[in-house]
Amino acid sequence: MRYFLSLGSNLGNRRACLAGALAALKKARVKVLRSSSLYRTQPFGYSAQPWFYNQVVEVSTALEPADLLALIKTVEKGLGRRPARRNRPRTIDIDILLAEERVFSTRQLTVPHPRMAKRNFVLVPLLEIAPTAIHPVLKEKISDLRKRSPDKSAVIRIPDKGGRTSSKEARQP
């Protein structure tokens, strides 16, 4: 099954936290198909905290959504995430945005992510790697959601180590 995941970090070495999360997912047999650039983003909801690094990745795995969520929680804990209120500082935050065209909701997980269409820190990196993807509930392209987003917070692309700012295909081992 293919998923789009959002990764974010605003504590510690943010770049290393995102890289560590991707490495842990790969080790658990989650294949990264595409990854967006890294973005430096303004905190959403609670502004008295460090800015985030955010990224969106497209992955493939045999895991069902509930099992992927359990893996994500294990990865987050392994990278030092502690329970906290929503929109507070964290070493790592990984959210399932989309699971193919599936729509479902449980107590622990709602897909598509219920707030993704209103958050630039999700829409901008998702737009980079999947501009024609369709939100399965709203029936709109990601590019159209971004145009209509009410979020005015800053989302700044971080150049890669070579100074480039373009997206790239994830390297496969």
Judge whether residue 60 has pLDDT over 60: yes
pLDDT value at residue 84 = 67
In a domain, 167, yes or no: no
On whether residue 171 sits in a domain, the answer given is no
Section 73-77 average pLDDT: 96
Residue 91 lies in a domain: yes
User: Could you tell me if residue 137 is inside a domain?
Assistant: yes
Please report whether residue 165 resides in a domain.
Answer: no
- For the segment 85-116, what is each residue's pLDDT rounded down to a tens digit? 666 788 999 999 999 999 999 999 999 999 99
The answer to whether residue 107 is domain-embedded is: yes
User: Quick one: average pLDDT of 27-55?
Assistant: 92
Instruction: Please check the confidence at residue 145 and state whether its pLDDT lies above 80.
Output: yes
138 has a pLDDT exceeding 60:
yes
Q: Give the CA diameter of the chain.
A: 43
Long-range CB pairs of 108-111, under 8 A, 24+ apart, other chains included: 108/66, 108/69, 109/65, 109/66, 109/69, 111/65
- Please give the residue that has the higher pLDDT: either 3 or 166: 3
Among 82, 102, 151, 96, smallest CA distance to 123 is for: 151
Residues whose CB falls within 8 Å of the CB of residue 2, separated by 6 or more in sequence, listed in order: 33, 58, 59, 60, 99, 100
pLDDT of amino acid 23 = 98
Strands (DSSP E) contained in the chain are 2-9, 31-35, 38-41, 52-60, 93-99, 104-105, 110-111, 134-135, 140-141, 155-158, 168-169
Q: Which of these, 151, 132, 154, lies nearest to 54 by C-alpha position?
A: 154
Domain contains 163: no
Contact 83, 107 (CB under 8 A): no
Inform me whether the pLDDT recorded for 131 exceeds 50.
yes
Q: Which SS3 state, helix, strand or coil, does residue 30 take? A: coil
Does some domain include residue 14? yes
Which of residues 109 and 46 earns the better pLDDT score?
A: 109
Q: Which domain, by its residues, includes 143?
A: 2-157
Average pLDDT over residues 14-28: 97
Q: pTM here?
A: 0.90
% pLDDT > 90, the chain? 80
* Domains: count for the chain: 1
The CATH number of whichever domain residue 139 belongs to comes to: 3.30.70.560
Q: How far apart are CA 13 and CA 75, in angstroms?
A: 16
